[in-house]
Amino acid sequence: MEEIQENNKKTILVVDDEKPIVDILLYNLEKEGYETLEANDGVTAVELALEKKPDLMLLDIMLPRMDGLTVCKRIKQSLNIPILMLTAKDEEIDKILGLELGADDYITKPFSVRELMARIKANLRKFEATSNNSDEQAGRNSGNKIKVGPLSLDFEKFEVRINDKVVDLTLREFEVLKYLANQPGQVVTRELLLEKVWGYEYYGDIRTVDVTVRRIREKIEKDTSNPKILITKRGVGYYIATDY
């Protein structure tokens, strides 16, 4: 009962042009205690999101009037909310996470309602924790930074620099780099990154981590085929190099 009351404070905007899918999602979200909003095309989704300011958005890629990728980009320019992309094509992951859209997560159709609800809870929980932690850190220590070789992170500004040049990362990319930079030289598994950065304990696609890491490398490495900062330990995970 306590969780339902807590969830009641959260509003989720469902954006999909397939009415049966929308009906299933709305039913299950309301059963979990969430408030819901519905949009069946991209233009309405943007207008509704900016007006109502939901706590999370479930966003289909294939939409009339404006596609989901454009919707995601427009929303992220104005609202700082988690966006979970819905896609019928598994190969779309690279497009969703690889572009500078700011999408926080994705799930492919057909999906189990149980997994989707777990993803929603994980994203809301992680988003809240990240916001609270950044506020606390800023209050405690305005100079909270990490420096490893040419890489430096400023937690207060959510800023990353390579050799003193600012690099533009999404919040999720920043969190991945921050987690690794906090323990330089130590290999972190993909599973642990999913748990600590994405907030998943049981659900999640490992490729999400790989695509995000690849995107970070495109921004911080001189040669992505021969990375010097963010290193892969084959078959295990990733780490930040301490020797340059």
Contacts of 234 (CB under 8 A, 6+ apart): none
Question: In this predicted model, what pLDDT tens digit does every residue of 91-100 receive, in sequence order?
Answer: 666 666 645 5
Three-state DSSP state, 213 = helix
Quick check: 58 and 84 in contact, CB under 8 A? yes
Instruction: Determine, yes or no, domain membership for 135.
Output: no
Based on the domain organization, do 10 and 125 belong to the same domain? yes
Q: Which helix (H) or strand (E) holds 200?
A: none
Based on the domain organization, do 123 and 211 belong to the same domain? no
Instruction: Determine, yes or no, domain membership for 224.
Output: yes
Based on the domain organization, do 80 and 187 belong to the same domain? no
Give the pLDDT band (50/70/90) at residue 1. Answer: very low
Based on the domain organization, do 11 and 122 belong to the same domain? yes
Instruction: Determine, yes or no, domain membership for 44.
Output: yes
Contacts of 64 (CB under 8 A, 6+ apart): 17, 40, 41, 42
Structurally, the chain folds into a number of domains equal to: 2
Give the pLDDT band (50/70/90) at residue 57. Answer: very high
Based on the domain organization, do 104 and 40 belong to the same domain? yes
Instruction: Determine, yes or no, domain membership for 20.
Output: yes
CA 119 to CA 106: how far, in whole Å? 9
pTM of full prediction above 0.85: no
Based on the domain organization, do 85 and 151 belong to the same domain? no
Instruction: Determine, yes or no, domain membership for 123.
Output: yes
Q: What is the pLDDT, as a whole number, of residue 43? A: 97
Give the pLDDT band (50/70/90) at residue 104. Answer: confident
Say which CATH number the domain at 219 has: 1.10.10.10
Residue 141 tokens, joined = 């220590």
The whole-chain average pLDDT of the chain stands at 84
Q: What is the pLDDT, as a whole number, of residue 107? A: 84
Range of the domain at 20: 2-129
Question: In this predicted model, what pLDDT tens digit does every residue of 125-181 receive, in sequence order?
Answer: 877 776 665 554 443 334 488 899 999 998 888 889 999 899 988 888 898 999 999
Last-in-domain residue among 129, 161, 180: 129
